[in-house]
Structure 1
Amino acid sequence: MSEQFLHTPIDETTEHSYKAFGVIYKVRHRSAVKYWLWGIVVAVIIILFLPWTQNIRAKGNVTTLRQEQRPQELNTIIAGRIEKWYVREGDAVKKGDTLVKLGEVKVDYFDPKLLERTQQQITAKELSIDGYNSKASTAAAQIVALKEAMQLKLNQLDVKIRQQQLKVFSDSTDVIAVKNEFAVTQRQIDAAKVMFDAGAISLVDFERRKVSFQNAQAKLISAENKFLQSRQELITLRIEKNQTVQEYTDKINKADGERYSALSNAASTEADVSKLENVYANYDARNQLYYITAPQDGQVIKARKAGINEIVKEGDMIVEIVPKEYQLAV
């Protein structure tokens, strides 16, 4: 009987008759997964079409995103006197338009030809620099010429000294020869005197030998004087050489000093030129500051100073401009 029960098919009546059977086996149960998937897809599509920007209410100040788009105050860089207005409040201006012309109030800048006179001073200083440089070049050439002249003079003196040294040597040789001759005559006169006293020679022979002795003595004195004179001339030439060196050295040092003085004056004048050029640039920049111009396109909304001949100080506000293009932000 058991085997017959096992092989008997289960029909729908049996499925509906036993609730436990349906709970356990779930033969007729359907899955809900696909319904969840379709629901999620639909929800995502709906979310994609929802607006992302959310509006809220709050309190704040309206301003611009960039600083240069905010109202601009134009201030004076230099002190001055208002001479002319080129705009009025509410006028539209473009970048570079002249708004106000200022006049000078400082005594140092009253001269209308201040730039021209300063330029003349610069030109004169530059000419002075050329003159000093030319003087330095001339002094340098003079130094070269003096050195060459000194060398030639020293060469000439060296030749003279050499010649005089040879003359001194020659005179000294003559003195030695004359001394030898004098010694011979000295012996001869001594011998003649003995022989004359002995009566071996006559008076005439004795006198002749005496004359020869005196001539030899005079010749020795003359040779010694000539030798001493040659030595003195040699010393004089050496002194002259030293004097020549000293003289040309003084001239070279003087010319060198003049060259350095000229170069120093040129350098000092170049410094003066640089200062004058700086002053000229400051004057030129100050002249450009007399005209106050619009920094960008916009509209004049406020003029702090009014009228003509009104004195303004450095940093005073003249006008206020609202830029033409701007991006608002809260």
Structure 2
Amino acid sequence: MPFAAHPLAETHPDKAGFRSFEQVHTPRAGRTLARWCAALGGLLLLAGFLPWTQNIRSEGTLTTLRPQDRPQTVPSTIAGRIERWHVREGQLVRRGDTLLDIAETKDKYFDPNLLARTREQLAAKAGTLRENAAKAQALGTQQAALRAGLQVSLNKARNKVRQTALKVRADSAELVAARTDQSVAQAQLTRQQTLYNQGLKSLTELESRRLKLQEATAKLQAVESKLGSSRQELLNSRLELNSLQAEYQDKLAKSESDRRATQAYQYDAEGQLAKMRNEYANLRIRSGYYRITAPQDGYVVRTLKAGLGEMVKEGEAVVTVMPHRPQLAAELYVQPMDIPLLAVGRRVRLQFDGWPALVFSGWPGTSFGTFAGRVAVIDNLDSKGRYRILVTPEPGSEPWPQPLRVGSGVYGWALLDDVPIWYELWRQLNGFPPNFVGYQKGSPDKPDKKAAEPTADDTEL
């Protein structure tokens, strides 16, 4: 069968007789592969302009945002001996439920009727205070009576002094008169003696004058004695007045001393009563510590003391309680170089241990099995070279799983700026940090897009 003429034979007539030229042609598989490679290259080029969410990856554990929601140990306020347990591990308890009973170990509090007897001591001390107050009031009344009696006695003594002074004045006037009479009688006797010597008077008249002189002298002496007695009586009245004041002052001073001693005892007894009331209040409060109760609703995680009769020291923990329905938060640790990129309110995606997830860190919207959160706390002090952040559930998003427990592992990544994929690859290859300018100018949730786009200077780098 003759072969058809090859097109090459028409253009090159000298090669028309060669059969090998008829078998040479371009394979169709090569063309298909080239087209696929070109298409894939175009797709990769176009994918390089797709948005990519920069993020900061970190690991941590679940904790609680509020301190009261974290596991706590319940201590024993007083030292004692375990007498009875009312709970078991894993049991749900309500606030105020009795966890265990302890018995007293100090001999000072062994008496079962200690409160009642202390109350009786308080009543007795209060009665003593009332009687002492009545005694102080009686002493005050006594002082008032003494002052009133002193005034009456003083007035009486002053009146007597005034009367005696008047009597002395009268006796003094009488003495003056008696002296005058004695002087007159002496003068008359002298004249009568002269006249008798001259023979003009008789002896009878002379003796009569002598008798009158003696009478006047006797009267003068009697008046002088009476005046001396009045003066002595006046002196005694004044001394009596002074002694009366001293006597009443002594009585008043003694009464005042008794009153002040009673008042001092009153103050001392009031102090002792206050001390006894304090002891009674302490005993009553201490009696309430024989039952160790749950501080809040929660689960008994672990009993730190076992058995009955075991001794418990003052302030020693006996039970660990996990609060019921705590407000969970993810405790993540971030490298120091990433801390400037974070702020309170920054969105975070979380993956919890035990929940399967399909994660696309650069496309959080396409991830499966992750949960949303927001940064609530950023520590200002590092912990072993890393900084701690607390992430809480984002309001309005899918709630976190109910079976989560404090202490379980969590993996999170904080969502940063949106950049093209090619820029993210270029940044990763060069070891540059994520865009930071956008976080300084924009808000945590909506950073400045213009600042986040790569610049010419970044491309040159």
Provide the residue aligned with 2:440 in structure 1.
none
**Corresponding letter in the other structure for 2:77:** I
Q: What is the identity, as a one-letter code, of the residue corresponding to 1:269?
A: A
The aligned residue for residue 126 of structure 2 is: 126
Match of 1:326 in 2: 326
Amino acid aligned to 1:209 = R
Number of the residue aligned with 1:213: 213
How far is 1:192 from its partner?
Answer: 2.3
Shift of 1:297: 1.1
C-alpha distance after superposition, 1:72-99 (max 9, x if no partner): 2111111100111111112221110001
Q: Post-superposition shift, 1:246? A: 0.6
Distance (Å, rounded) in 2 between the aligned partners of 1:142 and 1:155 = 20
Could you say which residue in structure 1 is the equivalent of 2:270? 270
Per-residue deviation, 1:321:
1.2
* Local SS of the residue matching 1:59: strand
Greater CA drift, 123-132 or 84-93:
123-132
1:247 is matched with 247
- Larger mean Cα displacement after TM superposition, 235-244 or 126-135: 126-135
From the two aligned structures, give the one with the greater helix fraction: 1
Unaligned runs of 5+ in 1: 1-46
Distance 1:204 1:56 in 2: 162
Query: In the aligned structure 1, how far is the partner of 2:290 from the partner of 2:52?
Result: 58
Per the TM alignment, residue 133 of structure 1 is displaced from its structure 2 partner at its CA by 1.7
User: Distance in 1 between the 2:256 and 2:280 partners?
Assistant: 35
**Matched position secondary structure for 1:228:** helix
1:267-290: CA deviation from partner (whole Å, max 9, x where unpaired) = 111111111111111111111111
Pair 1:311 & 2:316 matched? no
- 1:86 maps to 86
What residue in structure 1 maps to residue 62 of structure 2? 62
Residue number in structure 2 paired with 1:193: 193
- Secondary structure of the equivalent of 1:60? strand
Structure 1 residue 169 and structure 2 residue 169: aligned? yes
Q: What corresponds to 1:287 in structure 2?
A: 287
The TM-score with structure 2 as length reference comes to 0.58
The alpha carbon displacement at 1:193 in A equals 2.5
CA distance in 2, matches of 1:280, 1:85: 28
Listed one character per residue, the Cα deviations across residues 132-169 of structure 1 (whole Å, up to 9, x for unaligned) are 22122111111111111111111112212111111111
**SS in structure 1 of the partner of residue 151 of structure 2:** helix
Deviations 1:173-211 (A, max 9, x none): 000001000001111222223333333322222221111
CA distance in 2, matches of 1:328, 1:148: 83
Is residue 2:194 matched to residue 1:229?
Answer: no
Q: The residue matched to 1:295 in structure 2 has which SS?
A: coil
Moved more, 56-65 or 214-223: 56-65
Q: Distance in 2 between matches of 1:312 and 1:62?
A: 32
Residue 44 (structure 1) aligns with:
none
Q: Structure 1 residues 132-141 or 72-81, which shifts more?
A: 132-141
- Tell me the alpha carbon deviations over residues 270-316 of structure 1, each in whole angstroms, 9 at most, x when there is no partner: 11111111111111111111110001111112111111111111122
Give distance in 1, aligned partners of 2:259 and 2:91. Answer: 66
Describe the SS at the equivalent of 1:68: helix
SS in 1 for 2:61: coil
Give the length in aligned residue pairs.
281
Amino acid at match of 2:320: E
Look up the SS of the partner of 2:129 in the other structure. Answer: helix
The one of the two structures with greater contact order (alpha-carbon pairs below 8 A, sep at least 6) is 1
Per-residue CA shift, 1:28-47, capped at 9, x if unaligned?
A: xxxxxxxxxxxxxxxxxxx9
Residues 7-86 of structure 1 mapped to structure 2, 5 A cutoff? 58-86=58-86
Structure 1: how far apart are the matches of 2:189 and 2:57? 156
Q: In structure 1, how many angstroms separate the alpha carbons of the residues matched to 2:329 and 2:222? A: 125
Residue number in structure 2 paired with 1:32: none
Deviates more, 1:228-237 or 1:150-159: 150-159
- Specify the alignment match of 2:342 in structure 1: none
Residue identity matched to 1:307 = G
Question: Helix, strand or coil for the counterpart of 1:134?
Answer: helix
For 2:58 and 2:173, locate their aligned partners in 1 and report how far apart those are by CA, in whole Å. 132
**CA distance in 1 between partners of 2:309 and 2:52 (Å):** 62
CA separation in 2, counterparts of 1:325 and 1:204?
A: 147
Partner in structure 2 of residue 30 of structure 1: none
Cα deviation code 1:17-66 (max 9, x no counterpart)? xxxxxxxxxxxxxxxxxxxxxxxxxxxxxx9xx999x9986421121222
How far apart in 1 are the matches of 2:58 and 2:213?
149
The aligned counterpart of 1:140 is 140
